[in-house]
Chains A and B, each alone.
Chain A
Amino acid sequence: MAGSDSRIRVKQTDGVTQVEFIDRNILDEANIQAIGEEIGSIIERTPQPRLLISFANVDHLSSAALGTLITVNTKIRNKGGKLCLANIDPQIYEVFVITRLNQLFEIKESTDEAMKSFG
Protein backbone atom coordinates (compact mmCIF):
# COMPACT_ATOMS: atom_id res chain seq x y z
CA MET A 1 0.00 0.00 0.00
CA ALA A 2 1.40 3.36 -0.99
CA GLY A 3 1.85 5.93 1.79
CA SER A 4 0.39 9.43 1.89
CA ASP A 5 3.60 10.99 0.52
CA SER A 6 3.85 8.36 -2.19
CA ARG A 7 4.38 9.42 -5.80
CA ILE A 8 2.51 6.35 -7.08
CA ARG A 9 -0.87 4.67 -6.73
CA VAL A 10 -0.80 0.90 -6.35
CA LYS A 11 -3.59 -1.64 -6.67
CA GLN A 12 -3.85 -5.39 -7.07
CA THR A 13 -5.99 -6.83 -9.88
CA ASP A 14 -6.10 -10.52 -10.79
CA GLY A 15 -2.63 -11.16 -9.39
CA VAL A 16 -1.11 -8.17 -11.16
CA THR A 17 0.24 -5.15 -9.31
CA GLN A 18 -0.91 -2.05 -11.16
CA VAL A 19 1.17 1.06 -10.62
CA GLU A 20 0.14 4.54 -11.71
CA PHE A 21 2.09 7.77 -11.34
CA ILE A 22 0.60 10.67 -9.41
CA ASP A 23 2.81 13.35 -10.99
CA ARG A 24 2.40 14.49 -14.58
CA ASN A 25 6.13 15.19 -14.82
CA ILE A 26 8.53 12.41 -13.80
CA LEU A 27 11.60 14.63 -13.74
CA ASP A 28 12.67 15.31 -10.18
CA GLU A 29 15.55 13.04 -9.22
CA ALA A 30 14.47 12.77 -5.59
CA ASN A 31 10.96 11.74 -6.67
CA ILE A 32 12.33 9.29 -9.22
CA GLN A 33 14.52 7.72 -6.56
CA ALA A 34 11.55 7.48 -4.20
CA ILE A 35 9.44 5.86 -6.93
CA GLY A 36 12.23 3.37 -7.64
CA GLU A 37 12.50 2.48 -3.96
CA GLU A 38 8.76 2.09 -3.60
CA ILE A 39 8.44 -0.18 -6.62
CA GLY A 40 11.60 -1.98 -5.51
CA SER A 41 10.01 -2.83 -2.17
CA ILE A 42 6.93 -4.22 -3.95
CA ILE A 43 9.21 -6.43 -6.05
CA GLU A 44 11.19 -7.57 -3.00
CA ARG A 45 8.14 -8.76 -1.10
CA THR A 46 6.56 -10.53 -4.10
CA PRO A 47 7.86 -13.99 -5.00
CA GLN A 48 7.23 -13.68 -8.76
CA PRO A 49 6.28 -10.05 -9.40
CA ARG A 50 3.77 -9.28 -12.14
CA LEU A 51 3.82 -5.53 -12.56
CA LEU A 52 1.88 -3.23 -14.85
CA ILE A 53 3.08 0.38 -14.89
CA SER A 54 0.63 2.85 -16.42
CA PHE A 55 1.79 6.18 -17.83
CA ALA A 56 -1.77 7.44 -18.27
CA ASN A 57 -1.16 10.67 -16.36
CA VAL A 58 2.38 11.33 -17.50
CA ASP A 59 3.28 14.30 -19.73
CA HIS A 60 7.06 14.32 -19.31
CA LEU A 61 9.73 11.94 -18.15
CA SER A 62 13.49 12.21 -18.08
CA SER A 63 16.35 9.85 -18.75
CA ALA A 64 16.66 9.40 -14.97
CA ALA A 65 13.15 7.91 -14.97
CA LEU A 66 14.15 5.59 -17.82
CA GLY A 67 17.11 4.45 -15.75
CA THR A 68 14.82 3.60 -12.85
CA LEU A 69 12.51 1.63 -15.16
CA ILE A 70 15.49 -0.37 -16.42
CA THR A 71 16.49 -1.19 -12.84
CA VAL A 72 12.91 -2.22 -12.04
CA ASN A 73 12.81 -4.41 -15.15
CA THR A 74 16.06 -6.13 -14.16
CA LYS A 75 14.85 -6.80 -10.61
CA ILE A 76 11.59 -8.29 -11.87
CA ARG A 77 13.34 -10.45 -14.45
CA ASN A 78 15.79 -11.71 -11.82
CA LYS A 79 12.80 -12.94 -9.79
CA GLY A 80 11.20 -14.64 -12.77
CA GLY A 81 8.42 -12.06 -12.97
CA LYS A 82 7.04 -9.86 -15.73
CA LEU A 83 6.84 -6.12 -16.30
CA CYS A 84 4.49 -4.48 -18.77
CA LEU A 85 4.16 -0.75 -19.52
CA ALA A 86 0.92 0.76 -20.79
CA ASN A 87 -0.97 3.95 -21.69
CA ILE A 88 2.09 5.77 -22.96
CA ASP A 89 1.39 9.07 -24.70
CA PRO A 90 2.80 9.13 -28.28
CA GLN A 91 5.28 11.87 -27.37
CA ILE A 92 6.58 9.85 -24.44
CA TYR A 93 6.64 6.70 -26.55
CA GLU A 94 8.98 8.50 -28.93
CA VAL A 95 11.45 8.81 -26.04
CA PHE A 96 11.37 5.02 -25.72
CA VAL A 97 11.92 4.66 -29.47
CA ILE A 98 14.83 7.11 -29.59
CA THR A 99 16.56 5.30 -26.75
CA ARG A 100 15.54 1.90 -28.22
CA LEU A 101 13.99 0.99 -24.90
CA ASN A 102 10.80 0.05 -26.73
CA GLN A 103 12.80 -3.08 -27.60
CA LEU A 104 13.71 -3.78 -23.99
CA PHE A 105 10.28 -3.25 -22.43
CA GLU A 106 6.99 -4.90 -23.23
CA ILE A 107 4.68 -1.98 -24.01
CA LYS A 108 0.93 -2.19 -24.58
CA GLU A 109 -1.46 0.53 -25.65
CA SER A 110 -3.98 0.10 -22.85
CA THR A 111 -4.38 -1.37 -19.39
CA ASP A 112 -6.74 -4.00 -20.84
CA GLU A 113 -4.20 -5.14 -23.40
CA ALA A 114 -1.48 -5.21 -20.77
CA MET A 115 -3.65 -7.26 -18.41
CA LYS A 116 -4.34 -9.77 -21.19
CA SER A 117 -0.59 -10.16 -21.72
CA PHE A 118 -0.27 -11.50 -18.17
CA GLY A 119 -2.58 -14.38 -19.18
Chain B
Amino acid sequence: MSHPRPSPTSGHLSLVNDRDQISALEDLVVERAEELGYSRGARFALRLAMEEAIVNAFRHGHRALPAETPIEVEYSLDEDRIRVAVHDQGPGFAPAQVPDPTLDENLEMPSGRGLVLMRAYMTRVWHNAAGNRVEMELRRREDA
Protein backbone atom coordinates (compact mmCIF):
# COMPACT_ATOMS: atom_id res chain seq x y z
CA MET B 1 0.00 0.00 0.00
CA SER B 2 1.53 3.29 -1.08
CA HIS B 3 1.62 6.36 1.10
CA PRO B 4 -0.33 9.32 -0.31
CA ARG B 5 1.82 12.16 -1.49
CA PRO B 6 1.06 15.65 -0.20
CA SER B 7 -1.62 17.23 -2.36
CA PRO B 8 -0.56 20.20 -4.44
CA THR B 9 -2.03 23.54 -3.44
CA SER B 10 -2.60 24.54 -7.02
CA GLY B 11 -2.98 22.86 -10.35
CA HIS B 12 -4.00 23.32 -13.96
CA LEU B 13 -5.22 20.47 -16.08
CA SER B 14 -7.18 19.55 -19.16
CA LEU B 15 -10.23 17.44 -18.47
CA VAL B 16 -12.37 15.42 -20.86
CA ASN B 17 -15.98 14.54 -20.18
CA ASP B 18 -15.24 11.39 -18.26
CA ARG B 19 -16.88 10.74 -14.89
CA ASP B 20 -13.82 9.07 -13.37
CA GLN B 21 -11.59 12.03 -14.33
CA ILE B 22 -14.12 14.56 -13.06
CA SER B 23 -14.60 12.73 -9.76
CA ALA B 24 -10.84 12.29 -9.30
CA LEU B 25 -10.28 16.01 -9.68
CA GLU B 26 -13.14 16.87 -7.30
CA ASP B 27 -11.79 14.36 -4.78
CA LEU B 28 -8.30 15.83 -5.04
CA VAL B 29 -9.41 19.42 -4.45
CA VAL B 30 -11.86 18.49 -1.68
CA GLU B 31 -9.22 16.37 0.09
CA ARG B 32 -6.77 19.25 -0.07
CA ALA B 33 -9.45 21.53 1.42
CA GLU B 34 -9.89 19.02 4.23
CA GLU B 35 -6.14 18.98 4.87
CA LEU B 36 -6.28 22.76 5.14
CA GLY B 37 -9.01 22.47 7.76
CA TYR B 38 -12.02 23.60 5.76
CA SER B 39 -15.30 22.49 7.30
CA ARG B 40 -17.59 19.74 6.04
CA GLY B 41 -19.98 22.45 4.88
CA ALA B 42 -17.26 24.23 2.93
CA ARG B 43 -16.18 20.98 1.30
CA PHE B 44 -19.78 20.17 0.38
CA ALA B 45 -20.07 23.62 -1.21
CA LEU B 46 -16.79 23.20 -3.06
CA ARG B 47 -17.66 19.81 -4.56
CA LEU B 48 -21.12 20.98 -5.59
CA ALA B 49 -19.86 24.20 -7.21
CA MET B 50 -17.06 22.37 -9.06
CA GLU B 51 -19.50 19.73 -10.27
CA GLU B 52 -21.95 22.33 -11.57
CA ALA B 53 -19.24 24.40 -13.29
CA ILE B 54 -17.66 21.39 -14.97
CA VAL B 55 -20.97 19.84 -16.05
CA ASN B 56 -22.17 23.21 -17.39
CA ALA B 57 -18.96 23.55 -19.41
CA PHE B 58 -19.45 20.19 -21.10
CA ARG B 59 -23.24 20.18 -21.37
CA HIS B 60 -23.74 23.76 -22.52
CA GLY B 61 -20.34 25.12 -23.54
CA HIS B 62 -19.34 22.08 -25.57
CA ARG B 63 -22.81 21.24 -26.85
CA ALA B 64 -21.74 21.67 -30.49
CA LEU B 65 -18.16 20.45 -30.11
CA PRO B 66 -16.70 16.95 -30.51
CA ALA B 67 -17.21 14.85 -27.38
CA GLU B 68 -13.50 14.52 -26.72
CA THR B 69 -12.92 18.30 -26.58
CA PRO B 70 -11.28 19.09 -23.22
CA ILE B 71 -11.97 21.90 -20.80
CA GLU B 72 -9.28 23.58 -18.70
CA VAL B 73 -9.55 23.60 -14.92
CA GLU B 74 -7.34 25.62 -12.58
CA TYR B 75 -7.47 25.46 -8.81
CA SER B 76 -5.59 26.95 -5.91
CA LEU B 77 -6.10 26.60 -2.19
CA ASP B 78 -4.62 28.22 0.85
CA GLU B 79 -5.63 28.78 4.45
CA ASP B 80 -7.95 31.66 3.58
CA ARG B 81 -9.53 30.92 0.25
CA ILE B 82 -10.11 28.39 -2.50
CA ARG B 83 -10.27 29.38 -6.14
CA VAL B 84 -11.43 27.25 -9.06
CA ALA B 85 -11.64 28.34 -12.70
CA VAL B 86 -13.30 26.33 -15.48
CA HIS B 87 -12.61 27.37 -19.06
CA ASP B 88 -14.42 25.71 -21.95
CA GLN B 89 -13.83 26.01 -25.67
CA GLY B 90 -17.42 26.87 -26.56
CA PRO B 91 -18.82 30.19 -27.77
CA GLY B 92 -19.74 31.31 -24.25
CA PHE B 93 -23.02 32.59 -22.88
CA ALA B 94 -24.47 35.65 -21.18
CA PRO B 95 -25.15 34.73 -17.55
CA ALA B 96 -27.61 37.63 -17.21
CA GLN B 97 -29.79 36.04 -19.91
CA VAL B 98 -30.26 32.77 -18.02
CA PRO B 99 -33.83 32.63 -16.63
CA ASP B 100 -34.01 32.63 -12.84
CA PRO B 101 -35.23 29.09 -11.98
CA THR B 102 -36.28 30.19 -8.48
CA LEU B 103 -39.08 32.41 -9.79
CA ASP B 104 -42.54 30.92 -9.31
CA GLU B 105 -43.13 30.68 -13.06
CA ASN B 106 -39.81 28.85 -13.61
CA LEU B 107 -39.89 26.53 -10.62
CA GLU B 108 -40.71 23.48 -12.73
CA MET B 109 -38.05 24.10 -15.36
CA PRO B 110 -35.94 20.93 -15.36
CA SER B 111 -32.64 22.80 -15.85
CA GLY B 112 -30.86 26.07 -15.09
CA ARG B 113 -30.04 25.59 -11.41
CA GLY B 114 -26.29 25.06 -11.67
CA LEU B 115 -25.46 28.76 -11.70
CA VAL B 116 -27.86 29.42 -8.81
CA LEU B 117 -26.12 26.79 -6.70
CA MET B 118 -22.62 28.00 -7.59
CA ARG B 119 -23.55 31.56 -6.61
CA ALA B 120 -25.25 30.42 -3.42
CA TYR B 121 -22.43 28.23 -2.19
CA MET B 122 -19.34 30.16 -3.26
CA THR B 123 -18.32 33.55 -1.91
CA ARG B 124 -17.85 34.99 -5.42
CA VAL B 125 -18.60 33.73 -8.92
CA TRP B 126 -17.68 35.63 -12.04
CA HIS B 127 -17.41 35.04 -15.80
CA ASN B 128 -15.09 36.39 -18.46
CA ALA B 129 -16.52 38.69 -21.13
CA ALA B 130 -16.96 35.83 -23.60
CA GLY B 131 -18.85 33.78 -21.02
CA ASN B 132 -16.79 30.63 -21.52
CA ARG B 133 -14.73 30.88 -18.35
CA VAL B 134 -16.16 30.87 -14.85
CA GLU B 135 -14.11 31.60 -11.76
CA MET B 136 -15.24 30.88 -8.25
CA GLU B 137 -13.84 31.78 -4.89
CA LEU B 138 -14.69 30.36 -1.51
CA ARG B 139 -13.37 32.33 1.45
CA ARG B 140 -12.91 30.63 4.77
CA ARG B 141 -15.58 31.66 7.22
CA GLU B 142 -15.11 31.98 10.97
CA ASP B 143 -16.73 28.59 11.47
CA ALA B 144 -14.87 26.96 8.60
Contacts and interface: CB of A to CB of B under 8 A. Distances in A.
Q: Do A and B associate with each other?
A: yes
- Interface of B, secondary structure class, is helix
B102 A99 contact: yes
A28 interface: yes
A63 B52 contact: yes
Interface stretch (A11-19, A100-108, A111-119): A100-108
Contacts of A29: 55, 59
B140 interface: no
Given A30-B19, A71-B110, A60 B48 contact: yes
Interface stretch (B6-14, B62-70, B111-119): B111-119
Interface in A79-101: 91, 95, 98-101
Interface in B24-66: 40-41, 44, 47-48, 51-52, 55, 59
Contacts of B59: 29
Interface residues of B, number: 25
B92 interface: no
B112 to A, nearest CB: 8
B122 to A, nearest CB: 12
A74 interface: yes
A62 B107 contact: no
B131 interface: no
A38 to B, nearest CB: 17
B111 A99 contact: no
A67 B113 contact: yes
A103 B19 contact: no
A71 B114 CA distance: 17
B19 A99 contact: no
Interface string B115-144: 011001100000000000000000000000
Contacts of A99: 101-102, 113, 116-117
A66 B117 CA distance: 11
A103 B107 contact: yes
Interface of B: 19, 23, 40-41, 44, 47-48, 51-52, 55, 59, 101-102, 107-114, 116-117, 120-121
